[in-house]
Amino acid sequence: MKNISHMESLFRGNIYRSIDIAASGMTAQRKRLDAISSNIANMSVTNVDGNGNPYLRKQVVMKSDPEKPFPLALNNAMQKMKHTRHGHISEVEPLGKGKKITPLVEGEEIDIPNMKNNVVYDPSHPDANAEGYVTYPDINIVEEMVDMMVANRAFDANITVINSAKQMISRSLEI
């Protein structure tokens, strides 16, 4: 995912930053939906690599810009507040100074190891071990469906942000 520089965001206008951030959120939620659909499709795959290892559940972890994590941004804001008197708004940095970027959200797909042994006795199964047990993936269809609904709602929320920004741009052109 690409970060948009401060100068580029000034050129494009501040209103477009919200569209860029919401679009990156939509991309991350699409990745999350892809991982969920993969989990549902492979919930009964018992031999992924030919060694009898079951499919590992995939999960997408959301992360923001690694160069400016929230605690660092909060600390910087607190430092600015210390330099002003009580009740005053801190001085805004002049444009072009410092490295400012618009943080975009990104989804990183990871494999989750099987937390519980989902073992079933089925000696007729081709992937059964010497004792006749087959190890299935640790995937709960109910959890996957709930995750899918949450990802869908987050995707819809990002669409609402984009539509609101478009409406604001349209109204500002009427002035």
DSSP string, 13-75: -HHHHHHHHHHHHHHHHHHHHHHHHHHHHTTT---SSSSSPPPPEEEEEEE--TTS-HHHHHH
Pairing of strands 101-102, 133-136: unpaired
Predicted TM-score (pTM) of this structure:
0.68
User: Which pLDDT score, from 0 to 100, does residue 97 have?
Assistant: 45
152 φ/ψ angles, rounded to the nearest 5 degrees: -65, -45
Question: Which range marks the domain in which residue 13 is found?
Answer: 4-173
- What percentage of the chain exceeds 70 in pLDDT? 69
User: Which pLDDT score, from 0 to 100, does residue 58 have?
Assistant: 92
Q: How many domains does the chain have?
A: 1
